[in-house]
Structure 1
């Protein structure tokens, strides 16, 4: 009887799959086809396939690690088990900051989409004020626990899937074959330029898959995580690849060269079909979808910081909760950082920063998988072909690194330096407390 009750409290495979889909599909699927086309024209479809392959290689490493441990934590836990507390702390800090950066990026994406019907938001001052206002509202909602967040998240999930299906099914009838003739942009003819532009496009579209690494975070709350998480990771990535590929194909097929650099490609494509009515339908769907992902990370980011405090990786004040069970100190710090990011960088800057920060915990996780495999132990899932998959994941991650600007790399490395300083200070304080 007890076993049955425990099982009802666990998240089954279908729910894990839907959780993964909702955590991955956000602004990227609606806003990035224009930037991809600008960099690689019709070959942007190949970029999506390569990114999917790369993400799948990384996800398979996560899958083996997830099948080894049923505890919450994902990347932080895996690196901690393999390389110790300091490495685990740095990875945990990068995951928390990644969730804050995604919250800021999705807020920026919401504002960018809103500009399509409210041009006044193109004024930097108005943009920043509205962005701050949105984050303050999310902060207030977060203080009242999970109920509001769950309701809004469920609405956004259903709306997101409905808009995607509508866009693909209707849009495929309006694809013009002549719009698919430009394989590469003008001036992209040498191997060197293709290599560089492909990396730039890769560093953009990777953001559209970035949420996969958060799926194993709540492993302890899932039914049979050693089997279901690996299966869910693979199926979620393959499903997302199909959806991304079809949406990009439809955008190219309808808009052709006018897609290049388009800020709201999906909305503009539907405007070609149904005029202002079609444009507004997509805009509304995008706002609900992007807003839902922002809400999800507004809830998750403070929880990540709080969970790190439970492991004594952050100060104990991050554990403090109000009467609704919300970690209010974690929320204050999280939203303060998110506000700084929103007012200091646009959507494209924030997604590049997000992708680089994900690199900072994906690579250690891949290395952790390789080290832990050498130690042996029970795994419900083992990546085939020996170490071929993790090596491919590392090589493709190194290639991804070539697509970032110096500024993005500098900010990412600064986070690691700040983390090391925080870790050192905390250890000093603990030693003094123990000595007294």
Structure 2
């Protein structure tokens, strides 16, 4: 009976936008300003805004597909529908591996920030225990209800953005907006483009939770575009504030903490460190809300055993999928295998984007659920820009990641046939015919 339950649609436009915002704003914002300033100088804020244009085009293509689906799964669901179950399974496998590696690595970063404030967390025993405790907390928060989880995201968002907004207001208020702008060389712009791309990664976080979103065919698209525009403007303002404060660029690892210390003294640095803890933790919680829905969707559509499609009768969340995801992240975090998977992250993301754009073309050609009728002449510009961006980003992928990706595809192929065999044994005879 619990497998027949469906998680309720509790996410509105604001909640979905919040997931996207926190998917993009994690640990990177606390290191990015110095790196961009070194590479681009006072042009850095404009580079962020310019880079947002092709990002919005790519995001629009991904989000447009959400207007013809109302199930959870995101990219995995789109690719499965357009290109078949095998390719769809591979995308799901890639999403889970990449997201788990990212979560595992960020838990180590989170504990490092905690240890900077409270050294007791950095002991040889305390560190792994703290990591496991954090993973357990995120897992429990996700299981006990989507509304409660979003409430936790709201709290984390306030605590991470408030210090940054204060830094921007005081920094620009005291020093003004820098007016000297010198155009960088193309090679200089290219050298930091990947950093800006990393800052925008996670823009489509809410796409995977369409099955729990109110009116997903309009809400998801709107939330993705709103979040990218808002985050681009926020990144640019933070960059302007950093330049206005003009801190020493020697300590590039913690530029905002250095800037805050220059404005507010020791407690300014502490304030930004606390904001970083909340920023990473909220980003992690969003991951635990979103990515298990990929496993849940695959279980619902019989790409994985029905175990993953179980819904908690009490909390109405995909509890088994969330618990499995938490266990997977914990295993990667404790064994340290995220370092091995890290080289895959950029390559995997570009493969997924390429397959989404290919799926868009296939579904557009067949006018799947009137997709072609819903795309006007502006898409003659949007789609080529999105394709060009993915092609350029793919060109930046290191060669070492290609071999690792091939290995992951081979492992995914084995898992696909194993999962298919397990599913076929679980389905009733009538369903198999």
Match of 2:262 in 1: 272
Distance 1:351 1:244 in 2: 25
Question: In the alignment, does 2:93 pair up with 1:100?
Answer: no
Q: Post-superposition shift, 1:110?
A: 1.7
Q: Post-superposition shift, 1:250?
A: 1.7
Match of 1:55 in 2: 55
Residues 262/328 of structure 1: CA separation in 2 closer, same or farther (3 Å cut): same
The TM-score, its normalising length taken from structure 1, stands at 0.81
Distance 1:432 1:16 in 2: 37
Distance 1:223 1:322 in 2: 20
Stretch deviating more after TM superposition (308-317 or 262-271)? 308-317
After superposition, the C-alpha distances for 1:110-169 in whole angstroms (9 at most, x for unaligned) are 234335435687888875564344324434555655576444322112223322321221
Match of 2:215 in 1: 224
Q: Post-superposition shift, 1:97?
A: 2.6
Match of 2:164 in 1: 164
After superposition, the C-alpha distances for 1:365-423 in whole angstroms (9 at most, x for unaligned) are 11111221111242485264344322221221121123333344443443332212211
In the alignment, is the contact (CA less than 8 A) between 2:111 and 2:127 conserved in 1? yes
Q: Post-superposition shift, 1:273?
A: 0.4
Question: Secondary structure at the residue paired with 1:68?
Answer: coil
Question: In the alignment, does 2:419 pair up with 1:426?
Answer: yes
Question: In the alignment, does 2:246 pair up with 1:255?
Answer: yes
In the alignment, is the contact (CA less than 8 A) between 1:116 and 1:264 conserved in 2? no
After superposition, the C-alpha distances for 1:11-44 in whole angstroms (9 at most, x for unaligned) are 4434433343233322222232233344444444
Question: Secondary structure at the residue paired with 2:420?
Answer: helix
In the alignment, is the contact (CA less than 8 A) between 1:21 and 1:236 conserved in 2? yes
Question: Secondary structure at the residue paired with 2:205?
Answer: helix
Distance 1:354 1:119 in 2: 31
In the alignment, is the contact (CA less than 8 A) between 2:142 and 2:289 conserved in 1? yes
The TM-score, its normalising length taken from structure 2, stands at 0.81
Question: Secondary structure at the residue paired with 1:259?
Answer: coil
Distance 1:346 1:127 in 2: 17
What root-mean-square deviation, in Å, do the aligned CA atoms of Structure 1 and Structure 2 show? 3.7
Residues 177/151 of structure 1: CA separation in 2 closer, same or farther (3 Å cut): closer
Unaligned runs of 5+ in 2: 1-7
Distance 1:349 1:202 in 2: 24
Unaligned runs of 5+ in 1: 1-7
Stretch deviating more after TM superposition (245-254 or 40-49)? 40-49
Distance 1:176 1:119 in 2: 37
Stretch deviating more after TM superposition (35-44 or 226-235)? 35-44
Stretch deviating more after TM superposition (69-78 or 145-154)? 145-154
Match of 1:378 in 2: 370
Match of 2:389 in 1: 396
Match of 1:82 in 2: 82
In the alignment, is the contact (CA less than 8 A) between 2:208 and 2:291 conserved in 1? no
Stretch deviating more after TM superposition (103-112 or 326-335)? 326-335
Match of 2:226 in 1: 235
Which residues in structure 2 correspond to 1:116-127 (within 5 Å)? 116-118=116-118
After superposition, the C-alpha distances for 1:166-204 in whole angstroms (9 at most, x for unaligned) are 1221121344888967865xxxx6x5xx1xx64453333
1:360 to 351, 358, 367: 351
Match of 1:4 in 2: none
Distance 2:338 2:243 in 1: 22
Match of 1:281 in 2: 271
Match of 2:195 in 1: 204
Q: Post-superposition shift, 1:247?
A: 0.9
Q: Post-superposition shift, 1:238?
A: 0.9
Match of 1:3 in 2: none
Residues 72/334 of structure 1: CA separation in 2 closer, same or farther (3 Å cut): closer
Residues 105/276 of structure 1: CA separation in 2 closer, same or farther (3 Å cut): same
In the alignment, is the contact (CA less than 8 A) between 1:17 and 1:232 conserved in 2? yes
Residues 430/75 of structure 1: CA separation in 2 closer, same or farther (3 Å cut): closer
Corresponding pairs, count: 419
